């Protein structure tokens, strides 16, 4: 069985304490102070109750009952005051811990979001990354706070145990031993099974994720249409139930084993406790203990057991949380294979020599197949280059490399004469506008959807409208209830849904709003009808004036307007030239062009006849 090293335990504990203190320093100190105060109150309260019982007993036998009752009243008032202060401390402690928990959760979510957004895209190609992120996301928002709270509970319980044990030893040394017999075996078993549960959860992360995925299919709008049309509800409901049933069965088996192991220790604890109670009762009957002392020792043993259990539970929780904090630490320590910091090169505002690819090859992580192989390409400044080819030829992968979302395995990409991997990454992103074929639908306002093209500058309403006009979505937006302030999609009240073609125009407007010197459009009109496509590209030459444009498309009516065309097949370039040159070559491009033209003309003629 794998157990965490002592150095790792201490390091993770220190890390957790540092994270919590950094988030809420004042409340962490206040928590410490209140915890210390709370550890002293139990002894004070027990002692005052003993004094109250003795005072009552004396008052019953006293001749001057009025005078004797004055002492009883004083003890009652003092006990009430102490009890009130203790209650206030408990309430304040709960507020402080809840405050810490809420603020720390937000801070940890922010850490996870920042880390996830900074990692290479290659991590998303790795199932182990998804396991790691899932575990971190499940545990990170609350485990470090639990570690710190467990520490405070341990400190509070330990101080109280020391005080109460000293009191019990004053009666007989064996009474203090009862605390150990009644609680330690149970604590040991809980710590042992905390490790078993952690190990099981780590090994079953993928099954947990799979059950969540099945649940998402059953509840998410993305899957809703196919779920109904193909009758998949029963299939995925059954898959979810089977996966969850296996997880629940194994989890309950671990808990059952723990319960069986705890049963003998509970029997031993019961025998030890009631033996101690019998010893105390014997002392009271034979006059070695006053009635007040009997109550005090009874309460001291009861409270001591409670604190000892709390101490061991907190120690067990601390041990368990330390195991899970490893998940967070492992995620936050992930390092990119691509280097982003320390690059001094700048992306030129105006390209002079253009973009050059020399013998560029690339494989996706954990794949033996080339996505790109020996790519050579030159994109002149302020020209439009089109890239065409079958699905899977590597066109979109090439776009990702140009945007430095991935790094080539071999070869180089030059921006003028500077290698792309020597240019500051933020500078690359700010100088390239991209519309991917799997564009994002933001269920926010139309204005936000366009403004996201460049959030590092103040919002410019006129430029937003201009970008919408360039994309041909301006008329649609103006007819929405709140125009540019209308929330799009279906997730929130008062939303307006767009067609997939209108969503693509919205994404196109986002790329235009960025207004970068290099613009890359990956299947920019795939969701548009021929008329809408014509309207977009009728203005396209004017839109990209003074810009370097790269168009990836299956539609030859689109690529025909490019200054130069590259044809890809099986991860490499097989043809290049202008439209006229490629038609004269009568190769792959010419064949694809004629095939598409014939299909379009046939469909067009059929529509005319109808």
- Mean pLDDT value across residues 457-482: 87
Domain boundaries, the chain: 6-332, 355-439+515-609
Q: Is the model's pLDDT at 9 over the cut of 60?
A: no
The pLDDT score that the predictor gives to residue 343 is 61
The pLDDT score that the predictor gives to residue 406 is 80
The pLDDT score that the predictor gives to residue 341 is 47
Sheet-wide strand order for 432-435: 432-435, 518-522, 548-552, 384-389, 564-569, 572-577
Q: Is the model's pLDDT at 442 over the cut of 70?
A: yes
Radius of gyration of the chain (CA): 36
Q: Give the confidence band of 606 by pLDDT, cuts at 50, 70, 90.
A: very low
Please state the φ and ψ torsions of residue 287, each to the nearest 5 degrees: 85, 5
The pLDDT score that the predictor gives to residue 64 is 76
The pLDDT score that the predictor gives to residue 1 is 35
Percentage of the chain with pLDDT > 90? Answer: 0
375: β partners: 360
Q: Is the model's pLDDT at 6 over the cut of 60?
A: no
Q: Is the model's pLDDT at 415 over the cut of 60?
A: yes
Q: What is the pTM of this model?
A: 0.59
Residue whose pair of structure tokens reads 């409208």 in the numeric block: 465
The pLDDT score that the predictor gives to residue 42 is 72
Q: Is 553 exposed, middle or buried (0-12, 13-18, 19+ CB in 10 A)?
A: buried
Angle among Cα 412, 416, 421 to the nearest 5 degrees reads 40
Q: For 355-439+515-609, CATH number?
A: 3.40.50.300
End-to-end CA distance of the chain: 75
Residue 488 near residue 442 (C-beta atoms within 8 A): yes
What mean pLDDT is reported for the chain? 76
Most confidently modeled of 171-180, 293-302, 316-325, 368-377? 368-377
**Which of these ranges, 226-240, 400-414, 497-511, has the smallest mean pLDDT?**
226-240
Q: Give the confidence band of 57 by pLDDT, cuts at 50, 70, 90.
A: confident
SS3 515: coil
Looking at per-residue confidence, does 591 or 42 come out higher?
591
Looking at per-residue confidence, does 137 or 498 come out higher?
498
Q: Dihedral, CA atoms, 488, 489, 492, 494, nearest 10 degrees?
A: 50
- Mean pLDDT value across residues 415-430: 82
- Mean pLDDT value across residues 192-197: 74
Q: Is the model's pLDDT at 2 over the cut of 60?
A: no
Question: 220-238 pLDDT, tens per residue?
Answer: 777 776 777 677 778 888 8
Q: Give the confidence band of 264 by pLDDT, cuts at 50, 70, 90.
A: confident
The pLDDT score that the predictor gives to residue 63 is 74
Residue 520 near residue 364 (C-beta atoms within 8 A): no
Question: 503-551 pLDDT, tens per residue?
Answer: 888 888 888 888 788 888 887 666 566 666 666 666 676 677 778 888 8
Q: Is the model's pLDDT at 605 over the cut of 60?
A: no
Identify the CA nearest to 153 among candidates 304, 34, 60. Answer: 34
Fold of 6-332: ABC transporter transmembrane region fold (1.20.1560)
Question: 107-139 pLDDT, tens per residue?
Answer: 777 777 777 766 666 666 666 666 666 666 666
Phi-psi category of residue 338: left, alpha or beta, with phi > 0 → left and psi -120 to 50 → alpha: beta
**Which of these ranges, 186-190, 370-374, 520-524, has the smallest mean pLDDT?**
186-190
The pLDDT score that the predictor gives to residue 339 is 56
């Amino acid at each position: 069985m794998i157990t965490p090293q002592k150095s790792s335990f201490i390091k993770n504990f220190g890390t957790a304490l540092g994270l919590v203190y950094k988030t809420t320093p004042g409340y962490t100190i206040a928590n410490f102070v209140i915890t210390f105060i709370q550890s002293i109150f139990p002894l004070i309260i027990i002692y005052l109750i003993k004094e109250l019982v003795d005072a009552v007993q004396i008052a019953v036998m006293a001749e001057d009952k009025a005078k004797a009752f004055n002492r009883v009243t004083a003890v009652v008032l003092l006990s009430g005051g102490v009890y009130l202060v203790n209650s206030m401390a408990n309430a304040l402690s709960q507020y402080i811990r809840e405050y810490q928990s809420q603020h720390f959760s937000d801070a940890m979510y922010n850490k996870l979001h920042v880390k996830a957004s900074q990692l290479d895209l290659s991590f998303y190609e790795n199932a182990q990354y998804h396991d790691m992120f899932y575990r971190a996301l499940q545990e990170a928002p609350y485990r470090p706070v639990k570690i710190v709270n467990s520490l405070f509970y341990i400190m509070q319980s330990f101080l109280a145990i020391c005080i109460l044990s000293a009191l019990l030893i004053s009666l007989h040394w064996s009474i203090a031993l009862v605390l150990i017999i009644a609680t330690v075996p149970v604590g040991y078993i809980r710590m042992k099974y905390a490790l078993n549960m952690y190990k099981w959860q780590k090994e079953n992360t993928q099954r947990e994720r799979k059950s969540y995925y099945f649940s998402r299919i059953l509840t998410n709008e993305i899957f809703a249409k196919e779920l109904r049309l193909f009758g998949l509800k029963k299939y995925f409901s059954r898959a979810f139930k089977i996966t969850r049933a296996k997880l629940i069965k194994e989890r309950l088996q671990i808990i059952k084993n723990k319960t069986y192991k705890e049963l003998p220790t509970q029997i031993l604890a019961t025998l030890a406790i009631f033996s101690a109670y019998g010893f105390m009762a014997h002392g009271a009957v034979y006059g070695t203990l006053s009635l007040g002392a009997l109550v005090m020792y009874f309460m001291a043993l009861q409270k001591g057991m409670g604190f000892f259990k709390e101490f061991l539970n907190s120690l067990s929780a601390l041990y368990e949380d330390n195991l899970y904090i490893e998940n967070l630490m492992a995620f936050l320590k992930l390092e990119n294979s691509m280097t982003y910091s320390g690059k001094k090169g700048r992306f030129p505002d105006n390209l002079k020599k253009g973009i050059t690819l020399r013998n560029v090859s690339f494989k996706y992580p954990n794949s033996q197949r080339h996505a790109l192989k020996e790519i050579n390409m030159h994109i002149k400044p302020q020209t439009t280059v089109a890239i065409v080819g079958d699905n899977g030829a590597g066109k979109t992968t090439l776009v990702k490399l140009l945007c430095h979302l991935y790094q080539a395995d071999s070869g180089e990409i030059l921006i003028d004469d500077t290698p792309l991997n020597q240019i500051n990454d933020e500078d690359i992103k700010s100088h390239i506008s991209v519309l991917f074929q799997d564009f994002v639908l933001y269920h926010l306002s139309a204005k936000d959807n366009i403004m996201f093209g460049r959030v590092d500058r103040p919002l410019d309403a006129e430029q937003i409208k201009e970008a919408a006009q360039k994309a041909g979505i301006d008329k649609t937006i103006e007819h929405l209830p709140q125009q540019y302030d209308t929330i799009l999609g279906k997730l929130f009240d008062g939303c307006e849904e767009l067609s997939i073609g209108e969503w693509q125009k919205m994404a196109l407007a986002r790329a235009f709003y960025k207004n970068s010197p290099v613009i890359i459009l990956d299947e920019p009109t795939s969701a548009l009808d021929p008329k809408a496509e014509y309207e977009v590209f009728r203005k396209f030459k004017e839109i990209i004036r003074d810009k370097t444009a790269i168009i990836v498309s299956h539609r030859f009516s689109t690529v025909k307007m490019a200054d130069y065309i590259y044809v890809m097949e099986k991860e490499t370039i097989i043809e290049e030239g202008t439209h006229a040159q490629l038609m004269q070559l009568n190769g792959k491009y010419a064949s694809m062009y004629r095939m598409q033209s014939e299909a379009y003309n046939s469909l067009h003629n059929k529509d005319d006849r109808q």
